[in-house]
Amino acid sequence: MAHVLGQNQYGKAETRVVRITRNGHRHEIRDLNVSVALSGDLDDVHLTGSNAHCLPTDTTKNTVYAFAKQYGITSPEAFGIQLARHFVDDTEPIHRARIRVEEYVWDRIATPDNSAKFIGSDEIGHSFVRRGTEVRTSEIVYDGSSVQVISGLKDLIVMNSTNSEFWGYIKDRYTTLQEAYDRILATQVTARWKFGFTGAEGEPEPNWDRSYGQVRRHLLEAFAETYSYSLQQTLFAMGNRVLDNRAEVDEVRLELPNKHHFLVDLEPFGLKNDNEVYYAADRPYGLIEGTVHREGVAPVIPVA
Ligand SMILES: O=c1[nH]c(=O)c2[nH]c(=O)[nH]c2[nH]1
């Protein structure tokens, strides 16, 4: 019986590239993890052993490094778009490129002693600290005619120590959960948001870095400012806040694990626990996921 080759893609995954830009003594760092996935006219590679249409994954890795040198990295999105266009437009058998980029953000270390911050009139800035666990993400797909950009973040851990309740839920014979009128709400945010940008001729690119900073800010502010009756309600508020404030975004997908904090029973020690001492549970965790999108725009961010 004949079997059929289905969807296939290939490329170098997780190329780690760190690009330093040296403006005098003040340096900038972009620290990326780039994964390339190419598809196109590749049947023969799989079916006959001919590699005539195969651009080696090693070459895709080298291209990442060469582009970092030649063009710099102004943002993960701009870098991804440039790579995607190159692979599709310059390599005949390649018809589609998907570039995934993770960025590890480095913040400048502020020093209290300002006098040490200059050499002559040249500002010094070559010391950085990694920003917690948080990772900036983006996925760029180019099929030879249009570009799709989905940006995001993951492992952004946040907590509200009050203004969260959870009650009024279904109670069946298996329900033991006590209603909560003042609980901790903590989560590790994974967010992805899709841009309206399509890469059409003459269409201006969003300011990717500024957009990222603003979306992140709105997610955090909505988390902090929402008086929550469930993590589901907080999820909608966060997505909604981004769409209200960022015209360049038309869809937001959130994955919010409920990082449960359980009150410890201190009665055995003759102590009253007045919402002060918690056990931070590792697993299992509730997992709340959802998409918020503009009316009339069909959502496209895949369910993870
Ligand atoms: O915000 C919550 N949503 C739920 O659906 C849920 N379920 C649960 O046990 N605790 C919570 N908390």
Q: Which tens digits make up the pLDDT trace of 107-133?
A: 998 776 655 577 777 777 888 999 989
Domain that includes residue 286, residue range? 152-304
- pLDDT tens string 247-302: 999 999 999 999 999 999 999 999 999 999 999 999 999 999 999 999 999 999 99
Residue 4 lies in a domain: no
Residue 3 lies in a domain: no
Confirm if 162 and 66 have CB atoms less than 8 A apart: no
Same-domain status, 129 and 171: no
Distance CA 210, CA 221 (A): 16
Q: Respond yes or no on whether the N-terminal peptide bond of residue 56 is cis (omega within 30° of 0).
A: no
Same-domain status, 300 and 164: yes
On the question of pLDDT at 181 being above 70, the answer is yes
Confirm if 188 and 152 have CB atoms less than 8 A apart: no
Residue 188 lies in a domain: yes
pLDDT of residue 115: 52
With vertex at residue 51, the alpha carbon angle to CA 50 and CA 53, rounded to the nearest 5 degrees, is 110
Same-domain status, 173 and 138: no
Same-domain status, 173 and 296: yes
Residue 2 lies in a domain: no
Residue nearest to atom 8 of ligand 1 (CA): 286
Confirm if 59 and 36 have CB atoms less than 8 A apart: no
Residue nearest to atom 7 of ligand 1 (CA): 286
Torsion over CA: 74, 96, 40, 103 (sign): positive
> Is 160 a pocket residue for ligand 1 (Cβ < 6 Å)?
no
Residue 40 lies in a domain: yes
pLDDT of residue 71: 98
> Is 166 a pocket residue for ligand 1 (Cβ < 6 Å)?
yes
pLDDT of residue 110: 79
> Is 290 a pocket residue for ligand 1 (Cβ < 6 Å)?
no
Same-domain status, 116 and 159: no
Same-domain status, 157 and 128: no
Same-domain status, 246 and 170: yes
Same-domain status, 141 and 160: no
Higher pLDDT, 54 or 24: 54
The pTM score is 0.95
Reply yes or no on whether 12 is catalytic: yes
Residue nearest to atom 2 of ligand 1 (CA): 230
Strand 94-108 to 118-119 pairing: unpaired
Q: Could you say which of 145, 174, 205 is where a domain stops?
A: 145
Q: How many structural domains is the chain composed of?
A: 2
pLDDT of residue 84: 98
**Annotated catalytic residue, options 12, 194, 259, 293:** 12
Taking residue 91's Cβ as centre, other Cβ atoms within 10 Å add up to 16
Same-domain status, 279 and 182: yes
- pLDDT tens string 191-241: 999 999 999 999 999 999 999 999 999 999 999 999 999 999 999 999 999
Residue 274 lies in a domain: yes
Tell me the CA distances in angstroms from 96 to 15, 38, 99, 150, 193, one per residue in order. Answer: 19, 6, 10, 16, 21
Same-domain status, 170 and 126: no
**Annotated catalytic residue, options 61, 194, 259, 260:** 260
Distance CA 224, CA 37 (A): 37
Higher pLDDT, 164 or 126: 164
Give the contacts of 73 (CB within 8 A, at least 6 positions apart). 17, 19, 30, 32, 79
Of the candidates 167, 164, 163, the one whose C-alpha atom is nearest the C-alpha of residue 175 is 167
Distance CA 224, CA 160 (A): 7
Of the candidates 280, 207, 281, 301, the one whose C-alpha atom is nearest the C-alpha of residue 246 is 207
175 CB-side CA count, 13 A? 9
DSSP 169-220: ----TT--PPPBSS--EEEEEEEEEEES----TTPPPP-HHHHHHHHHHHHH
Give the contacts of 18 (CB within 8 A, at least 6 positions apart). 29, 30, 31, 32
Q: Which two tokens stand for residue 118?
A: 């200059």
- CATH number of the domain to which 98 belongs: 3.10.270.10
> Is 281 a pocket residue for ligand 1 (Cβ < 6 Å)?
no
At 97, the pLDDT band (50, 70, 90 cuts) reads very high
Strand 147-160 to 128-142 pairing: antiparallel
Q: Give the percent of the chain with pLDDT over 90.
A: 90
Q: Which two tokens stand for residue 57?
A: 């994954």
Same-domain status, 209 and 279: yes
- Ligand 1: distance of its center to the CA of 286 in Å? 7
Residue 283 lies in a domain: yes
Instruction: Tell me the H-state helices in the chain.
Output: 43-47, 57-71, 76-90, 208-225, 231-245
The preferred substitution site among 258, 260, 261, 289 for testing ligand 1, maximizing ligand atoms within 8 Å of CB, is 258
**Annotated catalytic residue, options 53, 57, 74, 86:** 57
pLDDT of residue 201: 96
Distance CA 151, CA 144 (A): 20
Same-domain status, 263 and 169: yes
- Ligand 1: distance of its center to the CA of 120 in Å? 58
Reply yes or no on whether 260 is catalytic: yes
pLDDT of residue 249: 98
Q: Could you say which of 145, 175, 193 is where a domain stops?
A: 145
Q: Could you say which of 111, 145, 179 is where a domain stops?
A: 145
Mean pLDDT of all residues belonging to the chain: 96
Residue 80 lies in a domain: yes
